[in-house]
Amino acid sequence: MGSIASNAFQLCGKQAEREEERYLRANDRPFNLSYTYTNNAITTSKYNIFTFLPLNLFEQFGRLANTYFLFLLLLQLIPQISSLSWFTTAVPLILVLSITAVKDASDDINRHRSDKQVNNRRVDVLIDGELRSERWMNVQVGDIIKLENNQFVTADLLLLSSSEPLNLVYVETAELDGETNLKVKQALTVTGELGDRVDALAGFNGEVRCEPPNNRLDKFKGTMTLSGQAYSLDNDKVLLRGCTLRNTEWCFGLVIFGGPDTKLMQNSGKTTLKRTSIDHLMNVLVLSIFGFLAFMCTVMAIGNAIWEVREGFVFTPFLPREPGIDAALSSFLSFWSYVIVLNTVVPISLYVSVEIIRLGNSFYIDWDRKMYYPKSDTPAQARTTTLNEELGQIKYIFSDKTGTLTQNVMTFNKCSINGKSYGELFDFAGQRVEITEKTEKVDFRNELADPKFTFHDHSLVETVKGGNLEAQAFFRLLALCHTVMPEEKKEGELYYQAQSPDEGALVTAARNFGFVFRSRTPETITVFEMGKKVVYELLAVLDFNNVRKRMSVIVRSPEGKLTLFCKGADTIIFERLHPSCNELTAATTRHLNEYAGDGLRTLALAYKDIDKSYMEDWKQRHHEASTAMDGREEMLDELYEEMEKDLMLLGATAVEDKLQDGVPQTIEQLAKADIKIWVLTGDKQETAENIGYSCNMLREEMKKIFIVAANTPEGVKEELQKARREMCPEAADEPSVVRARAGLFWSHKTESVQDEKVEGDYGLVINGHSLAFALEKDLQLELLRTACMCQTVICCRVTPLQKAQVVQLVKKYKQVITLAIGDGANDVSMIKAAHIGVGISGQEGMQAVLSSDFSFAQFRYLQRLLLVHGRWSYLRMCKFLQYFFYKNFIFTFVHFWYAFFCGFSAQTVYDEWFITLYNLLYTALPILGLSLFDQDVNDRWSFQYPQLYAPGQLNLYFNKKAFVRCLMHSAYSSLILFFIPWAAMYDTVRDDGKDISDYQSFALLAQTSLLVVVNLQLCLDTYYWTAVNQFFVWGSLAAYFAITFTIYSNGMFLIFTSSFPFIGTARNSLNQPNVWLTIFLSTLLCILPVVAFRFILIQLRPTINDKVRHKVRKEALPAPAPRIPRRRISTRRSGYAFSHSQGFGELVTSRRFLLKRPLRSRPALFATTDSPLAQNQPQHYRTITEEQEETQSR
């Protein structure tokens, strides 16, 4: 009932009062329903079965053109005005409304299906003292629900209890912030004692007061009152909708926010109706055409009044006027008659043709096998059919990182131990060998090894097994220095709960090389070293934080030896090494530069032997510092600094945060097309930077990469201005903002910031807290100016709402077309805010796909979507519009010239049936063939020359200037097509001496010449001929002559005398040589100037398109050279544990962290074992050009 009520309120447009505080009681539905909180159902659809017809018709008649044609239809029903039958407008109007309604209904049915799929998911809800399986949509605020491992979190929950020690749960928040590392949440102790006892949970009657629904993902404030005692609630005790429960057998939670009130949905942004720039331009042009039509009709009405006064009385004896109609009234009626006759300047078939073209080009995306991903059986999908041509005009791309550019897979790739690098393979000549799927893998012969871990360098295994002390110490450090928690479901089946994916990869590597981290207690760590069980005493954990960028552990071996093991960012570790390590440091630095050049995430490893007496003294001081009330952090930092000195270097690790296949090549291609890419990610700065280097977005050859990380508005402004002045010293202090008006009736005010020229390439990296200040009104333009000067922009630690704000900022002030691409729920608001939203169906659920306009499985398909499908769609749509306006203006202008010879009587030049069939049949199919099949160059040449994309960004192919040129061309052609047939037919006789200069013969000659000219003009505009194009062009002409001879025949006249008055005209006129000569002369005079003008233009001012098409004719596309991976020489290396959180070490050493619960079997972390994430296999890919070459060779 709550769902029905909330939907009813939405339908009626009523807005609930703003909620100031949420107050709820557990297990008390009547109490909670009294506050009319929304339930857990979500609705993204627009219509239902009752509202579809009225709402859809209301929306369609909101289009100016549809309203105009309805008005025209009403005019045609007035006999005193209309010289055309009503069906000439009614049939096309009904067809357009029907096709659009069917498309809108289809889109909304898909939205209903996706809503139904989500709302009908099942979850266990505690009702009347028992757990019942209920649909998500029926869950109410105040309900207690049970979640199990790998389930999505149903709503925003207050965690009550869990199966894990200390009431912990592990959740994956990829859909919220893009991070795949596990986050830890912890319930209150008082609720944790409820456990999974249903009777205790059913008796729980705690009351919660908390903040109202909002979009802040990282904050939550509230209190829970139980038995008169108040308990503070914060973000660590809340599970948000969109998270996934991991490595936790079960947990119970109290629903706080449901459905649209959840933080996930609050961050989703508003769904806006997206229209292309060509749509907006068409609205302006249609309005201009209305004005032009009114002008022509006014001229005709004035002409009619003058003619009636001067000449009309001569005709009254045989054309008497109706009673009461004088010259003034005749002029007024003539105005409306010409509105009907000249209405073809705004043809209704334009809109239905546009919809058909967009639908056809959408099918090409759906059917493209080169955008199909076989591993997940995912084809590309055009989820919206109205935005295709906009894909050919993209200037800015806003991309998520995790799951969009990367695979969410971490692999231990290479390492440097004691000055020697491992992980690469070399042949006998010393040349590096590329590792492929066929390369032999290392057989670890270790019962506890992870079968999904792969490594190819056999020499490292031999080194470890050969007893090399440095190599064994290296992997011993990896097995001991971490905060990973192990889970052993069965004997030998180990699962690691790593808060950082880097740590998981490193501990797994140690496990496979013979140093297996098996278990831990607050005081000990148990490791199996080369098959032998060794228990180390854990004396201290020197925890990680963002300033230290390292972590250390101090352990005592069974022999009593004290050792500190440390890992961290290489720059930090090298500062703390013993002088005796200088030579080893130099060798390791060379290896680190190579690893960073390959885009790997690196860490340095070091150790130190500790004296027992010193350790006792240090431990005592450590205890005093950790219990101090004031200055605790500073005192601990001093002690950590004191301990972590004079370290001995062991080596370095290199972990690969695996990019998706083809990402660097795709970014390189898009950059050549002058498309700017901004990365907006929820990850930490160093993670994002590292991926930026891996993708070649950030490059060493860039002049400078600016880091904006200030914590105050003043600091952010200073850093942005400093960066801007360094890039462009002569730039003005204040931005150049151009204000203008645009849109229908010029009612929309626009502000645009002009681009400023910069010499060289720069990069910008800005943190989330700095971005929050930069997005404030007084700093917006400063951020935009500085960012737009840079080739690459990376925004780190941004919230979903900030992503949308960045997109809206660029949309507002740059007046360019934007595209947002992401794969998680945290990307939804960004996808909705951009002109084009692209969803990647990856590891993070389907929220992004459901909100997107286009979807596919891999980022690399984006270049095909834009450079091929987008460019072709834009080119086809522009050609279609130019040709469509051209053919209809010619058609209409001939009426205009004829008015001066028919006494402005609104008589039509052409036969009524020709007028009806001109746009619906004779000229419809040829232009559809051009708009569906034409391409200037094929897809391979489109990839070879990404610069072909530039004209779309500048909107060169169809704009207001192109429209005016089209108008002038049409006026010239219409003069030829009227006056040449008129002069040729004037006082002309047949070859047998009979007169043929009658109205019907002239009409036939004029309309035949018109049809031949517009079809030849289409042939000139066609770049790519197919059998379908040929059939449509010549078939349309054949259909015209067949229909003409049929409707002008004696039989049709005898059956329908009033409908087919042109009896015998075709056979009497078209058998005369002078008629065909007139058609030929008219065609020649219309087409020859166009050919000459285009020839001269190509010779003097060839476009990039002309140059490439010339090259295509001259030479074959060169065979693609195999891409050789280039090693980037880098002086920059990644820091430590990018996704790691401060303070996790304290939990590891907690006295209560191993409280035992009954062990129960749990499902595996990854249910789908063939997914890339589960397999952890190295992924190999070919370049786009290699893939195409292989396809052609077949």
* Separation CA 157–CA 243 (nearest Å): 11
* Separation CA 485–CA 517 (nearest Å): 9
Query: Hey, what are 101's tokens?
Result: 């309604």
Which helix or strand (DSSP H or E) is residue 134 part of?
A: strand 130-135
Per cent of the chain over pLDDT 70 is 84
pLDDT, tens digit, 9 for 90 and up, residues 390-437: 999 999 999 988 778 887 677 888 999 999 999 888 767 666 777 767
Q: Is the pLDDT of residue 746 over 70?
A: no
Return all residues near 617 (Cβ < 8 A) that are at least 6 apart. Answer: none
CA distances from 782 to 262, 344, 551, 752, 771 (A): 34, 49, 38, 13, 12
Query: Hey, what are 211's tokens?
Result: 């903040």
CA-wise closest residue to 380 among 842, 865, 856 = 856
Q: With contact defined as beta carbons under 8 Å apart, do 694 and 406 qualify?
A: no
Tell me the pLDDT band of 1061, cut-offs 50, 70 and 90. low
Query: Hey, what are 1159's tokens?
Result: 């062990």
Instruction: Identify which has the larger pLDDT, 1128 or 423.
Output: 423
pLDDT on residue 110: 81
Q: From its phi and psi, is residue 1018 left (phi > 0), alpha (psi between -120 and 50) or beta?
A: alpha
Q: Looking at this protein, which amino acid is placed at residue 67?
A: T
Query: Hey, what are 653's tokens?
Result: 């690790």
pTM (two decimals): 0.74
Task: Count Cα atoms within 13 angstroms, Cβ side, for 888.
Answer: 25
Beta bridge partners of 406: 659
pLDDT on residue 985: 81
Radius of gyration, alpha carbons of the chain:
37
- 511-517 average pLDDT score: 91
Residue tagged 């233009």 (tokens): 1097
Q: With contact defined as beta carbons under 8 Å apart, do 241 and 263 qualify?
A: yes
Q: Would you call 400 a catalytic residue per the annotation?
A: yes
Q: Looking at this protein, which amino acid is placed at residue 1111?
A: K
Q: Is the pLDDT of residue 887 over 50?
A: yes
* Separation CA 458–CA 443 (nearest Å): 8
pLDDT, tens digit, 9 for 90 and up, residues 537-566: 999 888 877 677 789 999 999 999 999 999
| Sheet arrangement for strand 182-186 | 182-186, 168-172, 244-246
Strand blocks (E) in 672-724: 676-680, 704-708
Residue tagged 């200073």 (tokens): 718
- 161-177 average pLDDT score: 81
CA-wise closest residue to 398 among 690, 949, 809, 946 = 809
Tell me the pLDDT band of 264, cut-offs 50, 70 and 90. confident
Q: Is the pLDDT of residue 1159 over 90?
A: no
- 971-986 average pLDDT score: 91
Instruction: Identify which has the larger pLDDT, 988 or 1105.
Output: 1105
* Separation CA 49–CA 105 (nearest Å): 10
Q: With contact defined as beta carbons under 8 Å apart, do 889 and 342 qualify?
A: no
- 352-357 average pLDDT score: 83
- 1103-1108 average pLDDT score: 89
> Catalytic pick from 400, 457, 911, 934?
400
Return all residues near 77 (Cβ < 8 A) that are at least 6 apart. Answer: 86
Q: With contact defined as beta carbons under 8 Å apart, do 203 and 195 qualify?
A: no
Q: Is the pLDDT of residue 213 over 50?
A: yes
Tell me the pLDDT band of 594, cut-offs 50, 70 and 90. confident
- 60-76 average pLDDT score: 78
Tell me the pLDDT band of 625, cut-offs 50, 70 and 90. confident
* Separation CA 172–CA 499 (nearest Å): 10
In the chain, count H helices and then E strands. 44, 37
Instruction: Identify which has the larger pLDDT, 340 or 417.
Output: 417
* Separation CA 1007–CA 981 (nearest Å): 10
- 25-49 average pLDDT score: 88
* Separation CA 201–CA 193 (nearest Å): 10
Q: Is the pLDDT of residue 778 over 70?
A: yes
Q: Is the pLDDT of residue 367 over 90?
A: yes
* Separation CA 570–CA 1108 (nearest Å): 49
3-state SS, 194-252, equals CCCCHHHHHCCCCEEEECCCCCCCCCCCEEEEECCEEEEECHHHEECCCCEEECCCEEE
Count other Cβ atoms within 10 Å, centred on residue 326: 12
* Separation CA 968–CA 959 (nearest Å): 14
Q: Is the pLDDT of residue 846 over 70?
A: no
CA distances from 71 to 76, 371, 637, 918, 1033 (A): 9, 45, 80, 21, 33
3-state SS, 1105-1117, equals HHHHHHHHHHCCC
Strands 394-399 and 676-680: parallel
Query: Hey, what are 531's tokens?
Result: 């098959």
Q: With contact defined as beta carbons under 8 Å apart, do 698 and 688 qualify?
A: no
What does DSSP assign to residue 918? I
Q: Is the pLDDT of residue 826 over 90?
A: no
- Residue 583: Cβ-neighbour burial (10 angstroms; 0-12, 13-18, 19+): exposed
